[in-house]
């Protein structure tokens, strides 16, 4: 596969230089990708600006129908796209709890259909004998989308679909580690959309700052690390770009003493290790009451020991590799630091042989706040299990972190759990669950996990500005 090209104004564009995309399970070449230059970005932005004139004015029905058709095309090409996601990202086709590449494709289809059905009706602020004042939602212009490598296709859908549904045009730049499924998606969507509505440029990280500083881009929607999010905020100031920043998380899950450990252990495990822990809203710090601490450690250990880590294209593999070598080094460093501080490794002692950026499913007990593994987002298949004794103290420890994406409370007392949710500093709180997202519920972080929300009507509104129109009665 080496026929990937940029898509600009509906045309496939070749570049002089290309870069390699590596399968993280084998370290073999999957494909080469076009390396865009600044001039390609300029062309893409120009095409998007031109297309905006028309696309912003087409009827809502037309945009809704196009969005449904894109969903249908993704579904028709689901097998091909799932294979690409597994090869470039590493997650198994099916995987543990069915949360692999096929789930990513199914989610993409579902999110397209759900977003197609969202509406931004005109609101009436005043209607009296003097004036009717209408609040209309207007698209912003050209949206620049910058995506990470963990859920490459699904996150591209989360950016692109609400943008075009609400009348904007888009230039997307996927992560250099995982550009293939996004390139194919954009190619497919261009069978439906008018030329220039959706354009893609691929390249290395240095393409990102060119986008965030580009005067022809009106909004940046970014999903990625907090460090990059801060750079984007500075760079976007030139023309006061609107921003949606979905950044890193270090979600705490708090397990109260009244739980039935056996019945919640699988849910906790799945929400911590989803996509080998490389999920923004995965459960990353597990606080367990001292009275059930050892029971919970044993239950999680028993689950991990029965699961297989390997090449996601092979049958029966539950979890894939870490997506790239630098991320693997970070996970190893956090594990080594915890070991040096005397943590107890319940699982994960041995690394698989052979190629691939593999790290075992690792459960770490007897660690606490102040250890890097707890304080920093590992973004890999490793979970610290932290003992606590007092509920007020554990809420304070959960909140004592710069991130504020999600959090969870696990308890058989739903009333108490719901009260505790009020005290957690994060954008989403789940009770007896974690990391479950859906297209009709806004999702976004507080503190250094970013700002703005995605999904639902509230997410769609972020791609628009309000125009207040005063209509005199005579
Ligand atoms: P990253 O910040 O390294 O890269 C993300 C994207 O930004 C890539 O496309 C990259 O090429 C681009 N980029 C890099 N430097 C840039 C710059 N200076 N200006 C503009 N763009 C630049 O993140 P990553 O390692 O790909 O993703 C992992 C991180 O993403 C984790 O911290 C994770 O928590 C976070 N994440 C957050 C969410 C969420 O919804 N909050 C979802 C998924 C991932």
Q: pLDDT, tens digit, for every residue of 350-397?
A: 776 789 999 999 999 999 999 999 999 999 999 999 999 999 999 999
Nearest atom (ligand 1) to Cα of 224: 30
**How many CA atoms does the CB half-sphere of 79 hold within 13 Å?**
1
Are 180 and 88 contacting, i.e. CB atoms less than 8 angstroms apart? yes
Residue 174 alpha carbon to ligand 1 centre in Å: 10
DSSP code per residue over 386-427: EEES-HHHHHHHHHSSS--SEEEEE-S-HHHHHHHHTT--SS
Are 399 and 250 contacting, i.e. CB atoms less than 8 angstroms apart? no
What is the Cα–Cα distance from 336 to 348, expressed in whole angstroms? 12
Are 289 and 351 contacting, i.e. CB atoms less than 8 angstroms apart? no
Residue nearest to atom 23 of ligand 1 (CA): 224
What is the Cα–Cα distance from 450 to 352, expressed in whole angstroms? 36
What is the Cα–Cα distance from 163 to 167, expressed in whole angstroms? 7
What is the Cα–Cα distance from 249 to 229, expressed in whole angstroms? 13
Ligand 1 pocket test, pick from 224, 227, 244 with the greatest ligand atom count within 8 Å of Cβ, gives: 224
pLDDT digits (tens, 9 = 90+) for 173-187: 999 999 999 999 999
CATH superfamily of 251-431: Aldehyde Dehydrogenase; Chain A, domain 2 (3.40.309.10)
**How many CA atoms does the CB half-sphere of 161 hold within 13 Å?**
35
Q: Domains of the chain: which residue ranges?
A: 6-247+447-472, 251-431
In the residue annotation, 280 being an active-site residue is answered as: yes
CATH number for the domain running over 6-247+447-472: 3.40.605.10
Are 230 and 253 contacting, i.e. CB atoms less than 8 angstroms apart? no
For residue 194, give the DSSP letter.
P
SS3 of 357, please? coil
Residue 149 alpha carbon to ligand 1 centre in Å: 8
Ligand 1 pocket test, pick from 225, 232, 436 with the greatest ligand atom count within 8 Å of Cβ, gives: 225
Ligand 1 cavity residues, CB under 6 Å: 146-150, 173, 175-176, 205, 208-209, 212, 223-225, 228, 231-232, 246-249, 280, 377, 379, 405, 445, 449-450
SS3 of 217, please? coil
Nearest atom (ligand 1) to Cα of 151: 43
Q: Give the pLDDT of residue 1.
A: 44
Are 172 and 198 contacting, i.e. CB atoms less than 8 angstroms apart? yes
Q: CB within 8 A of 35, min separation 6: which ones?
A: 15, 16, 17, 18, 19, 202, 203, 204
Residue 173 alpha carbon to ligand 1 centre in Å: 11
Burial (CB < 10 A; 0-12, 13-18, 19+), residue 358, is buried
**Element containing residue 6 per DSSP (H, E):** strand 6-8
Q: Residue 193: phi, psi to the nearest 5?
A: -80, 150
Nearest atom (ligand 1) to Cα of 443: 40
Q: Residue 410: phi, psi to the nearest 5?
A: -115, 115
Residue nearest to atom 21 of ligand 1 (CA): 208
Q: Which of 87, 104, 246, 462 is catalytic?
A: 246
Residue 82 alpha carbon to ligand 1 centre in Å: 22
Residue nearest to atom 38 of ligand 1 (CA): 280
Sign of CA dihedral 114, 116, 119, 120: positive
What is the Cα–Cα distance from 397 to 234, expressed in whole angstroms? 30
**Element containing residue 305 per DSSP (H, E):** helix 293-305
Nearest atom (ligand 1) to Cα of 449: 41
Ligand 1 pocket test, pick from 33, 90, 148, 207 with the greatest ligand atom count within 8 Å of Cβ, gives: 148
The β-bridge relationship of strands 198-200 and 169-173 is: parallel
Q: Residue 416: phi, psi to the nearest 5?
A: -65, -45
In the residue annotation, 426 being an active-site residue is answered as: no
Q: Give the pLDDT of residue 354.
A: 81
The two most distant CA atoms of the chain are separated, in Å, by: 80
What is the Cα–Cα distance from 230 to 208, expressed in whole angstroms? 13
E strand residue ranges, 123-241 = 123-127, 131-139, 142-146, 169-173, 198-200, 219-223
Q: Which of 33, 112, 280, 297 is catalytic?
A: 280
Residue nearest to atom 30 of ligand 1 (CA): 224
- For residues 273, 23, 438, 165, the Cα torsion angle rounded to the nearest 10 degrees is 160
SS3 of 464, please? strand
3-state helix, strand and coil shares in percent for the chain, rounded to the nearest 5: 40, 20, 40
Q: Give the pLDDT of residue 474.
A: 87
Residue nearest to atom 15 of ligand 1 (CA): 205
Q: CB within 8 A of 312, min separation 6: which ones?
A: 25, 86, 90, 91, 92, 93, 95, 100, 101, 320
Taking 70 as the pLDDT cut, the residues of the chain under it are 1-2, 352
Are 270 and 238 contacting, i.e. CB atoms less than 8 angstroms apart? no
Are 365 and 287 contacting, i.e. CB atoms less than 8 angstroms apart? no
33 CB neighbour count, 10 Å cutoff: 24
Q: Please tell me the pTM assigned to this model.
A: 0.97
């Amino acid at each position: 596969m080496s026929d990937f090209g940029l898509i600009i104004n509906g045309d496939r564009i070749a570049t002089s230089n290309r870069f390699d995309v590596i399968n993280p399970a084998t370290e073999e070449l999957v494909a080469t990708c076009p390396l865009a230059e600044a001039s390609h970005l300029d062309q893409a932005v120009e095409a998007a600006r031109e297309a905006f004139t028309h696309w912003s004015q087409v009827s809502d029905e037309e945009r809704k129908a196009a969005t449904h058709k894109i969903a249908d095309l993704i579904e028709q090409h689901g097998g091909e796209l799932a294979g690409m996601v597994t090869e470039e990202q590493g997650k198994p086709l099916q995987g543990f709890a069915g949360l692999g590449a096929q789930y990513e494709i199914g989610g993409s289809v579902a999110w397209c259909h759900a977003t197609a059905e969202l509406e931004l009706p005109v609101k009436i602020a005043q209607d009296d004998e003097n004036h009717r004042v209408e609040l209309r939602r207007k698209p912003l212009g050209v949206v620049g989308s910058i995506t990470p490598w963990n859920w490459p296709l699904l996150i591209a859908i989360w950016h692109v679909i609400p943008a075009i549904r609400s009348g904007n045009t888009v230039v997307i730049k996927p992560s250099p580690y995982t550009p293939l499924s996004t390139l194919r998606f954009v190619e497919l969507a261009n069978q439906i959309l008018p030329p220039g509505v959706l354009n893609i440029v691929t390249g290395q990280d240095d393409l990102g700052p060119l986008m965030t500083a580009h005067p022809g881009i009106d909004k940046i929607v970014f999903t990625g690390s907090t460090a990059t999010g801060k750079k984007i905020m500075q760079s976007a100031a030139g023309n006061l770009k609107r921003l949606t920043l979905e950044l890193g998380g270090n979600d705490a899950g708090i397990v109260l003493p009244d739980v039935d450990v056996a019945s919640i252990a699988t849910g906790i495990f799945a929400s911590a290790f989803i996509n080998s822990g490389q999920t923004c809203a995965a459960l990353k710090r597990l606080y367990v009451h001292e009275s059930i601490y050892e029971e919970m450690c044993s239950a999680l250990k028993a689950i991990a020991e029965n699961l297989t880590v390997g090449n996601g294209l092979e049958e029966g593999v539950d979890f894939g590799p870490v997506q790239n070598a630098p991320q693997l080094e970070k996970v190893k460093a956090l594990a080594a630091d915890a070991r040096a501080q005397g943590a107890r490794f319940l699982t994960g002692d041995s690394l698989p042989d052979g190629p691939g950026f593999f790290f075992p499913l690792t459960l770490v007990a007897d660690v606490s706040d102040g250890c890097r593994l707890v304080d920093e987002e590992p973004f890999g298949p490793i979970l610290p299990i932290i003992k606590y004794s007092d509920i007020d103290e554990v809420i304070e420890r959960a909140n004592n972190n710069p991130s504020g994406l999600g959090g969870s409370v696990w308890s058989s007392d739903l009333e108490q759990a719901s009260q505790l949710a009020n005290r957690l500093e994060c954008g989403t709180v789940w009770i007896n669950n974690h990391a479950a997202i859906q297209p009709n519920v806004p999702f976004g972080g507080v503190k250094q996990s970013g700002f703005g929300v995605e999904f639902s009507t509230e997410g769609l509104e972020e791609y628009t500005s309000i125009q207040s129109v005063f209509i005199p009665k005579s």
